[in-house]
């Protein structure tokens, strides 16, 4: 059976984030990749996605996309058949992370947008993939998303609510996945989400950091196939 699948990219990510997994599961899904570059709140991103999505669908979000996925589960849970939360968190930022986001926005307003900085790239990919064509693809992806969307997305992330209280209301087959070397949304955050969602399956993707769909798509595909069959 072919399932409608809505995919939610992360900060400074576009359809390239999902290209490799989709190449392997395309025969079992009808995919829609949401555009999360147009709004400056998580609620608005969720509402726009819902307005353009099929009547019912499986839903997968990575990082910022996970924040939007959790908001969709609040706005229209009856439309979602399956939920996948990859390399994300139900927690709001702590003050240190919020300060870094605000500083990033201010620097961009001064005309210093360079896409993914070298420091951020070190958090997105494992050491093995630094200074490789894959790193260049991540940089190019961020440049395509661009400065205006970066500011809107960071503003949305800063304003997101604490999703932990609503985890218990999720009642669809749920996959919680995280790269084993993810420093931005580490394993403890994935464990917290999985513990809060009844029946959630927790999967750790080896040889990957914050972007396992690009670093280890084969492992992600195995998890997605099992999830979609639930």
Question: What pLDDT is recorded for position 74?
Answer: 98
On whether the CB atoms of residues 172 and 80 are closer than 8 A, the answer is yes
C-alpha of 154 from chain center: 14
Q: Across residues 47-68, what is the average pLDDT? A: 98
Contact 220, 21 (CB under 8 A): yes
Q: Mean pLDDT across the stretch 82-103?
A: 93
pLDDT of residue 142: 93
Integer Cα distance of 196 and 165 in angstroms: 9
- Mean residue pLDDT of the chain comes to 95
> What's the pLDDT at 118?
79
The alpha carbon of residue 41 and the mean position of all alpha carbons in its chain are separated, in whole angstroms, by 15
Rounded distance, CA 206 to CA 201, Å? 16
pTM: 0.96
Query: Residue 2: pLDDT above 90?
Result: no
For residue 156, pLDDT over 90 is answered with: yes
pLDDT of residue 45: 98
Model confidence at 165, pLDDT cuts 50, 70, 90, reads: very high
The pLDDT confidence band at residue 100, using thresholds 50, 70 and 90, is: confident
Per residue in 31-40, pLDDT (tens digit) is 999 999 999 9
Whole-number Å distance between alpha carbons of 86 and 63? 6
pLDDT interval class at 105 (50, 70, 90): confident
pLDDT tens digits for 117-136? 777 899 999 999 999 999 99
Rounded CA gap, 47 and 187, in Å?
A: 29
Per-residue confidence (pLDDT) for residue 170, from 0 to 100: 98
Q: Which residue, chain included where needed, has tokens 């996945």?
A: 177
Taking the CB of residue 94, how many other CB atoms lie within 10 A of it? 8
Q: Please give the pLDDT value at position 106.
A: 85
């Amino acid at each position: 059976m072919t399932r409608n699948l809505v995919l939610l990219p992360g900060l400074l990510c576009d359809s390239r984030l999902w290209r490799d997994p989709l190449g392997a599961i395309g025969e079992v899904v009808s995919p829609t990749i949401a555009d999360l570059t147009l709004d400056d709140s998580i609620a608005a991103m969720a509402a726009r996605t819902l307005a353009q999505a099929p009547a019912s669908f499986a839903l997968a979000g990575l990082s910022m996309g996970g924040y939007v996925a959790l908001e969709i589960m609040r706005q229209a849970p009856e439309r979602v058949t399956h939920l996948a939360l990859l390399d994300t968190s139900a927690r709001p930022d702590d003050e240190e992370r919020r300060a870094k986001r605000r500083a990033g926005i201010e620097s961009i307003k001064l005309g210093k947008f360079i896409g993914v900085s070298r420091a951020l790239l070190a958090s997105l990919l494992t050491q093995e993939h630094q200074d490789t064509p894959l790193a260049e693809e991540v940089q190019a992806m961020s440049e395509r998303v661009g400065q205006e969307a970066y500011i809107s997305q960071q503003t949305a992330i800063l304003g997101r609510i604490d999703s932990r209280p609503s985890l218990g209301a999720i009642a669809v087959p749920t996959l919680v996945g995280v790269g084993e070397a993810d420093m931005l949304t580490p394993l403890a955050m994935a464990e917290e989400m999985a513990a809060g969602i009844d029946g959630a399956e927790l999967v750790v993707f080896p040889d990957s950091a914050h972007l396992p769909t690009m670093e280890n798509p084969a492992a992600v595909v195995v998890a997605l196939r099992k999830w979609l069959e639930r």
